[in-house]
Each structure stands twice: as structure tokens, then as C-alpha cells.
Chains A and B, each alone.
Chain A
């Protein structure tokens, strides 16, 4: 891997404290603390306009923060580590007249990879992904999906130690989304730290070991996906044949009766006392399910219903586009 000898591995690939970035009167990033452990897949989750892109750009050194400080691979000047970093911006950009393999090699060369090696790797990557025939075509002749794949290869051609992807699934069809997920996992298996932003909860849930939920320029939650889900108690759904009886006194206070079923959060004492009461009173248990909440539920609980609704709308808009 390029530059391995330059910078020793640090516990955190990315670390920031008290980051603030203001555009005019608007605080896009408002006092963010973040630490991305080395070798993990880390997701920054939030709706459009939450400050995800500005956060990533600040972490990468494209823009400087107004307040706070950050380190990238242990370096307070992120651009000094650019050889070890791959970045796929949200707004994809390639020179339209460049040939596909040359565009990949150029992106590698910007990050210190010799052109000759970059070109050879570019051809091999394109061949391996069934795009060998397009290697010599100018970018302007490629489909949008192919161009995005070329840019993704350009992001990793120099074998970086940290990959930062801003909304990488945006604009990809389901098949290409699956391919990208596989590629991210493959990179993570090789020990690469992957930091990506998304407004699609499902991607974060499937891929990430840790997430940061961002809304209004602040981090509302930071930790593992399991920890996020653990913020909500498991949800119990109970159906009984009898609708009333002394067993109802055993139901928790916030129980909701809806669609012929009882809904409540799993009590601190567990389900056993309720089960005992149901059996003793012969309530007739038709069904009983205890479900661990998904990341979406956790997100709603953490970021709020309005933010979650905005993310759903963002996603619907993108699907329609």
C-alpha cells in the first residue's frame, strides 16, 4: 500500500473535535466531535442538508473549519495524507474527453501513483468488472453508471488506507448498489477504513459497524448500529382471545390497543411476569412477538420524526429521478 511507511497506523483514521463550519449566517457544521476507528466501515447518516458533505469536506481538508480541529490518519493537515486517502465526492466529476482508463490513472497520479502503474491497474479493474471494452472510450461516451464506476475505481486505484465516499449509492440502480456494497466490504476486509455518508438508512444498517447520525449540523448519535438500536427497548405485540380480565393489570402503562393487538415496549422485568398473568387468567394467547427495533426506528427516536420523514422524502425523490 502506498505510503504505509510514511504514517504509522493510528487508532482512529479520522478524529475531530468541536468542528464548526459556517457559510454566511448558516452553521452547516455546528460543533461536531467524531472519531472513526481504523479498519471499520463508518456511516454518516442524515437527511439532505444535515451537514454531512460539509463535514466530510472539512475532515478531508478541502475546506478549513472555522473552529475546532481534526486529524486525518493522525495528521492535522489532511492534504499531507492525500496519498493514503481515496475520495468520491457527491457531485461526480470527470474530464469528458479523457479515456476511461486514463481518468482512473489520472486520479491515482494525483495521489502519487505512477501513471504507468495506474494505467495498468485501471485496465485490470475495468476488465475484472466487465468494462474492458470501454477502457479506451472517452468518458462522454459512457453511461452515467459506467462513469460512476470509473470514478469509483479512480478513488481506490492507488490502494488507499482510508476511503471517503459521499453519498456513493446516489444515482446507482439496484444492481450497481449491490456491487458497490460488495466492493466496500472487500476493501474493509483488506483493512481499509471506509467512511461514507448516506441518507438511506438501509445501506448504513447493512454495511456499517459504527454510525453517526447527523441532523442540523450536529451529531445526535455516535456509536455502533447495535447500540443505536439498543436505545429503544424491544417492541412486544400480543394478541389474546379474551379482550378483558385481571391479566390486563400486568400490561405496562403505555400499552396501545391497535388492530386487535396490544403493543408495548418490553418491560424492564422481562416478559415472564406478564406471561404468568396471562396463563393464570386463561387469557388465551393467540400470538406473542418480541421484535428488536430496526435502525429506522432508532433513527426516528434519535433524530426525530420530522428528520426521518425528510430522509424518506429525499430517498423517494432520488428513486423517482
Chain B
């Protein structure tokens, strides 16, 4: 085992320095920042669009006195529940045919309110009527009440914690961690797919196979790519924290996970490493069967789809803590890291994590062994009579 680890480290060091000390690694580091910047810019823009343009506005085609009552009533409601929570009203020509008003492209009415306060007519598409009818009735009711609409005062009694709020906040943290871990794994583990093609193309595989066990080659490559990923993650995390500090201000804070931030971050690191190694070893095994880069590219799509399925499974499970699907997601090796990080956000118990990490590590070893067995059998054309797992023979005397 010691020799195997030593050999794996030799392979890892070579792969690591072959990637890190290149100009392309700089692009690798900077690449993910670009979509984030673009996303932030478009996010701000879309928020503006949704605030300004997409809120439904109804045309109010009523006699002026009635229209004024309706507009006043809408204002009164907006002051109490917030302008975002009640549909907007815009004064429209009166008298006019509501259908003609709706046909005007310059007005932009979602529907037209006509008639009188006590006998309203709402004209519009069926879906818009269904969506807006409640708001119109509420505004009209308030308009009917006029000044008699009572305003009841509420005494504020804030508490630091509520079980429901805390659970919701922790669920949010769990989901955020899951999504982040999945994105990072999808971005980074896929790179392992093409790792063995280089060795096969430049014939170095013969040198490696004659000198060290193939298990050490696989493990070394995984360690190298994982180390490279950690460098990337560290860099992106620093950039993200700086960005959040700038944008969100000093008061910004994520909801605290159940196990506490230090343990949660440590678990996130460990679970990312496990998720990476589980998927990476699988990809390495699959990619090692490919003879050319073209074959690897062809394999990329189904492999990504497989990742998505695993992620959706884990995402579904996060909402149902303690349910059969959640336990299944925690036990199934490929979804286990994602399910367990969500559990860490919601449940303070630590022993399941020790168990899960050991379970996942066992599966990493099993998947590597399987990949090596397939590689020896189909690529090196070896081991036709060699079992997948064999007992070590005693050392030579």
C-alpha cells in the first residue's frame, strides 16, 4: 500500500505540474468568473425589467368620480401591503369600448375594468381575468368602504428564532451548498474523462504500466485533478467573497447550518472531494476505454446527463429529511455527498457523516478497482483469467 501511494504521488505530481504551470490554467481560473459577471449584470437588468415592465396594469375605464375612488382605494391598499403585492391600475379613456382599449398596442393593458364600483366588469383574456379578478374585487371593496375602511394597528413582538423560520433557512443553506457542489463537480470532474487519452496517445502508458500498478496511475490522476480543483475553488471563493462583500455590504450573512459553519465548511470540503473522486473515478474508468479524443467527446454528453440525474435525485431528497428517498440518496454512492451536505445543514448529528464519508471512500476504491480491471482487460488485453479482486500472494523469499 505504501508503494502504491508513493507511485500514485509520483503520477499526481507530474500531472499536477503539467496542468498548473501552463498559460491555459490561467484561463481555467478566470473562465468561471466571466459568466458570473455577465450573470450579475443580466440579473440586475432582469430585476429592473420585472419591476418596471412585467407587473400587470389594468386600464380603468369608468366615470371620473368612480375612477378616482378606485385609484384612491388601490393606493390605500398598496400602502398597507406593499405596491408589489397589488395589481396596478391606470386611468383609461371613458367612455370607451373595453375591447377596443385592449386592442390598442400603445396602452399595454392586461385587462380593462369598466362599469361602476358596485357593478364591475372585467374584460380581458380568460387567464388574465382569473389572475386579476381577486385584486379588482379587493380594490372595489375598499372603494365601497371609502373612509370607513378601518386600519387596525399591530403591535410588533420580534423573536430571534422560530422553528419554522430556522428550518427554512437551513434548507436554503443546504440547497445552496448542494447546487454549488454540483456545479463545481460538473465543471471539474468532467475534465478527468480525457485524462488517460494523453498517455495512450503518446505511448507513455507502456512506461507507466511496466513501472507501477494501474491503480496507482488512476489514483494519481484523480489526486492531481482534485488538487488542481481545490486551487480553482480557493481562487473562486476568494473572488466570490470579495464580490459579496462589495455588493451585499457588511451586514450580509447566510443562515447558519445545523452543524455550525466551521464543521459545515469542513464537511463541504470533504464531500466535494468525495463527490469529485466518485464521479472522477467513474469518468476515468469510462474515459480510459476511449481510444481517441473524439470518443471522449462523444461520451461527454451521456456522462453529463448521468450527473444531472444524480443531482435531481439528491435535490428531491433534500426537501424530505428522514424519508425513504432521502435515505436512499444518502446511501447511493454517487448522490451520497450531495444528500449528506444538505443533511449537515439541517441536522446537527455528526456520526452519519463519519459513516457516509467512510462509505463513499470505500466506493471510490471499488470504482477505481473496477476501472483498472476494465482497463487491463480491454486496453492492455490482460487478465483474461485474473479475477477482479485477488488475494495478495506472499512476498518472494
Contact = CB atoms under 8 A, between A and B. Distances in A.
A64 B14 contact: no
Given A97-B18, A111-B211, A64 B386 contact: yes
A94 B14 contact: no
Given A23-B381, A64-B382, A95 B211 contact: no
B203 A110 contact: no
A89 B204 CA distance: 9
Interface residues of B, number: 32
Contacts of B395: 75, 80
Given A82-B212, A109-B10, 15 more contacts: A22-B384, A57-B210, A62-B209, A63-B382, A64-B383, A75-B395, A87-B211, A91-B206, A93-B207, A95-B18, A97-B18, A106-B14, A110-B7, A110-B211, A110-B212
B203 A91 contact: yes
Interface string B178-221: 00000000000000000000110011111111111100000000
B207 A110 contact: yes
A95 B7 CA distance: 17
A71 B209 CA distance: 17
A216 B205 CA distance: 27
B4 to A, nearest CB: 10
B207 A87 contact: yes
A224 interface: no
Contacts of A7: 396
Contacts of A71: 396
A76 interface: yes
Contacts of B209: 62
Interface of B: 6-7, 10-11, 14, 18, 198-199, 202-213, 376, 380-386, 393, 395-397
Contacts of A92: 203
Contacts of B203: 89, 91-93
A294 B111 CA distance: 106
A22 B208 CA distance: 23
6 contacts: A87-B207, A89-B206, A93-B202, A95-B198, A96-B202, A112-B6
Contacts of A82: 210-212
Contacts of B198: 95
Best-buried of B18, B206, B213, B397 by chain A (most CB within 10 Å): B206
A127 B102 CA distance: 89
B33 to A, nearest CB: 26
A-B residue pairs, 9 tightest by C-beta: A93-B203, A63-B382, A75-B396, A110-B211, A89-B206, A93-B204, A91-B203, A87-B210, A109-B10
A79 B4 CA distance: 11
B123 to A, nearest CB: 72
A120 B131 CA distance: 79
Contact of B396 (A22, A80, A109, A110): A80
A97 B193 CA distance: 21
A76 B393 contact: yes
Contacts of B383: 63-64
A143 B72 CA distance: 88
Contacts of A96: 202
Contacts of A106: 10, 14
B209 to A, nearest CB: 5
Interface in A96-126: 96-98, 106-107, 109-112
